[in-house]
Amino acid sequence: MTWLPLFMFVVLFGLSTDYHIFVLSRIRERWLAGTSARDAVVSGIGHSAGVVSSAAVIMVVVFSVFVTLTSVENKMLGVGLAVAVAIDATVVRGVLLPAALTLLGERAWGRRAGAGITRRTPRP
> Does residue 114 carry a pLDDT above 80?
no
Residues 57-97: tens digit of each pLDDT: 999 999 999 999 999 999 999 999 999 999 999 999 889 99
The pLDDT of residue 107: 85
> Quick one: average pLDDT of 17-28?
90
CB neighbours (10 Å) of residue 14?
Answer: 9
b/e 57-78 (16+ beta carbons within 10 angstroms → b): eebbeebeebeeeeeeeeebbb
d(CA 26, CA 31): 9
For the chain, what is the radius of gyration of the CA atoms?
Answer: 18
What pLDDT is stored for residue 16 in this prediction?
87
Cα distance between residue 124 and residue 111, in whole Å: 22
Q: What is the dihedral of CA 9, 13, 19, 22, to 10 degrees?
A: 180
**How many residues comprise the chain?**
124
